[in-house]
């Protein structure tokens, strides 16, 4: 009972951790500061350029900002399409992971048997893990592209730096991965107990040449009797019967020969 209570509290902690990470990932989709750049030609006039997956924005020192969505989806680069798709997939996986975790956790008691709830929790952990990996791939790709363009001396366009949304996304993805890994371990031990229990291994055996129904352990002279299948035993008994009949027949023939040899001839008797 105490172990089940500990597992229940661990599941609650993992669920809260994954839920916080998912909320952080969702917040980055609405944040404009994925990349930013500050351009100041005059002391009193400074322009801030920042963008995200959906739009480009610009603001000045007076506080006036203007954002413009990307004009056409067909004209966007493949990198931006892949980033959008992975970000949306991460949010969807996180949502379904939360639903499955609420159904399968021990504290909710919504599902059926304990084994069914544990396996639902295991599925929620895998869904959360997929969400975390999708998110960390998006932010890592984005950060690598920004870093490569910034350090490239032949890149003549305006250079940007990493925004706050990328770091928030990294943190949220790490929270989801850590929480889902711990949840997957504890739920997997209950869902598939035969794979986690270690069975003692017996030393290898071999069959001796002298006997057919005994095994000899290596390093020990004692024989261990084994049980043969019924079909094998029946065939063996039939073989023994046929052999015994053959031996009896040969014995009778030999006895007849000896009788014939010991009987005196007719002429000598007369």
For the stretch 67-74, contacts whose Cβ atoms lie closer than 8 Å and that sit 24 or more positions apart, written own/partner, are: 67/32
What pLDDT does residue 261 have? 45
What pLDDT does residue 26 have? 92
pTM of the predicted model as reported, rounded to 2 decimal places: 0.66
What pLDDT does residue 263 have? 47
What Cα–Cα distance (Å) separates residue 236 from each residue in 60, 96, 211, 228? Answer: 99, 62, 13, 10
Taken in order 256, 261, 263, 267, the sign of the CA dihedral is: positive
**Distance from C-alpha of 90 to C-alpha of 86, rounded to nearest angstrom:** 6
**Distance from C-alpha of 132 to C-alpha of 32, rounded to nearest angstrom:** 21
What pLDDT does residue 259 have? 46
> 121 and 182 in contact (C-beta within 8 Å)?
no
Average pLDDT per 10 consecutive residues for the chain, totaling 270 residues = 76 90 91 79 66 84 79 83 92 92 78 78 91 92 88 80 89 92 84 60 51 49 53 63 63 54 46
């Amino acid at each position: 009972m105490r172990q089940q209570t500990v597992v229940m509290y661990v599941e609650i902690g993992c669920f809260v951790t994954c839920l916080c990470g998912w909320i952080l990932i969702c917040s980055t989709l609405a944040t404009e500061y994925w990349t930013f750049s500050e351009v100041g030609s005059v002391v009193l006039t400074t322009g801030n350029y920042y963008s995200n997956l959906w739009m480009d924005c610009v603001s000045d020192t007076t506080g006036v900002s203007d954002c413009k969505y990307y004009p056409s989806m067909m004209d966007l680069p493949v990198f931006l399409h892949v980033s959008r798709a992975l970000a949306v997939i991460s949010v969807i996986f996180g949502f379904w992971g939360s639903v499955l975790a609420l159904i399968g956790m021990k504290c909710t008691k919504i599902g059926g048997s304990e084994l069914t709830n544990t396996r639902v929790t295991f599925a929620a952990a895998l869904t959360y893990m997929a969400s975390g990996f999708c998110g960390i791939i998006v932010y890592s790709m984005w950060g690598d592209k920004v870093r490569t363009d910034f350090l490239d001396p032949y890149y003549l366009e305006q250079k940007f730096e990493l925004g706050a949304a990328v770091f928030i996304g990294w943190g949220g993805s790490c929270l989801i991965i850590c929480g889902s890994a711990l949840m997957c371990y504890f739920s997997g031990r209950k869902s598939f107990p035969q794979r986690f229990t270690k069975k003692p291994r017996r030393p290898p055996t071999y069959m001796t040449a002298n006997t057919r129904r005994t095994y000899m352990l290596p390093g020990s002279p004692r024989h261990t009797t084994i049980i043969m299948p019924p079909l094998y035993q029946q065939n063996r008994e039939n073989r023994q019967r046929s052999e015994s009949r053959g031996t009896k027949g040969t014995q009778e023939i030999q006895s007849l020969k000896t009788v014939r040899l010991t009987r005196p001839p007719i002429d000598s008797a007369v």
